[in-house]
Amino acid sequence: MDKPLILRGARRCSTKRFLTWLAPWAAMAVLGVLAIGLCLVKGLNQTNMDNRFAFGLWIFLDLAVIALGAGAFFTGFLLYILRRDELRAVINSAVVIGFICYSGAVLVLAVDVGQPLRAWFTFWHPNVHSMLTEVTFCITVYLTVLAIEYLPIVLRNRQLRKVPSFLVFEGELHKVMPVLAAVGTFLSFFHQGSLGGLYGVLQGRPFAFRDGFAIWPTTFFLFILSAIATGPAFVLLTTSIVSKVSGTRLVRHVVYELLAKVSGWLLIVYVGFKSVDTIVWLNQTAPRSGVNPSQFYAWQPFGSWVLVVEIVILGLVPALIFISPTRRRSLPWLVTASVLASLGVATNRLVMTIQTLALPTFKFEPFMTYWPSWQEVATFLFVIAYGVILYSLSFRYLRLFPQERELQKY
């Protein structure tokens, strides 16, 4: 039915099957819209957040998807600035993933703040000392960059490219892609860092507070490193999942290997810095704030095992898999390592958000617990459903993997 729209030379399932695939995601999205509506109309009392747990599932989600969305800018950086041409095979897909992650994050943020209509205040009355101001500026501008990067992919659709002026416009956009990639890289380095800085500057929260260089706490650099290390791994992961679900080969194995190699070495650097940072923080920074660091891990379930899981199992282990040339030849190993690395960055963001708030500052207060309400979970699911739907449509009608047509000949 939608055949004239479908990518030329690509094998795609029937319309009926495609709609059957979309239906459950659409149902999930409808539930999400209901939850979002409740939060906007009735207020944030619909969530289980409170004065002590001022941040919850949503902020964790924002931090995690933005870290995973880093694949978009970092792949662009490797392709357009460092000229790793192999990555042309995944750049379109990476851009779509990045767009989904960032737009999803902005959407959830708009529900999360108490007065969404005042969002423009940050631009009109900015406090330049706040990491959040920087995050807001960069994410807004970068989302625009991603939208512009998405546009030529859309315009190359079989039907749309029949319009001559679209074709000309697409060609022009293509010429400025390296510039956009450079802008995107600059913006992303800053806001990934500032998201880390968000926590590192919290002098009143010894669990999050870090020393640093000049105005940047170490979390600023660690967040950049962890994001660019897991970004390519997430591109690898999503590409292999799409390949599996659609039953088509999408990229040559060398592309996977390159992504894995980049992720692997960056993860090694990240794990190294993270370990040094953890040691300095536990032995110097935290005691200076008058805290006994053993207290950080004295409350279940957030025991010191969290550190081991985060740094070793979800950091060092995938790094070692990625940098081993023999393991890299096997896709199952690469997928396993990508899952571990993605979970690792998510764990880090979870710990920074949730454990920071759960830990008492007064010695006479308890460890706080928080469990999201169904409205919070449904909003979270909305972002996932929205992502799957947008990606599915893009995959069906747009050329996300330039090598696909060629690989089908074999």
* Rounded Cα distance, 9 and 405, in Å: 6
Closer by beta carbon to other proteins, 259 or else 350: 350
- Residue entry with tokens 């959040």: 132
Nearer to other proteins, 37 or 43 (CB): 43
Positions of E strands within 105-215: 212-213
Which CB atom, from 130 or from 275, has the smaller least distance to other proteins?
130
Block residue for tokens 């899952």: 339
- DSSP string over 374-405: HHHHHHHHHHHHHHHHHHHHHHHHS-S-TTHH
Alpha-carbon distance of 410 to 405, in angstroms, equals 10
Min dist. Cβ of residue 107 to other proteins (A): 15
Asked if 149 contacts 180 with a C-beta cutoff of 8 angstroms, the reply is yes
- CB 362, min distance to other proteins, A: 7
| Of residues 316 and 352, the one with the C-beta less far from other proteins | 352
Min CB(43)–other proteins separation in Å: 5
Nearer to other proteins, 115 or 326 (CB): 115
Q: How far is the CB of 365 from other proteins (least distance, A)?
A: 7
Euclidean distance between CA atoms 133 and 65, whole angstroms: 19
Contact footprint for other proteins (CB under 8 A)? 43-45, 49-55, 112-115, 118-119, 121-122, 124-127, 129-133, 136, 198, 201-206, 288-292, 294-295, 298-299, 356-357, 360-366
Nearer of residues 196 and 206 to other proteins, judged by Cβ: 206
Shortest reach from residue 203's CB to other proteins, in Å = 5
Q: What angle do CA 360, 366, 367 make, to 5 degrees?
A: 65
Q: Minimum distance between the CB of residue 392 and other proteins, rounded to whole angstroms?
A: 33
In sequence order, which residues have a C-beta less than 8 Å from that of residue 67 and are 6 or more positions away? 192, 195, 223, 226, 227, 230, 231, 345, 346, 349
Task: Say how far residue 73 (Cα) sits from the centre of its chain.
Answer: 11
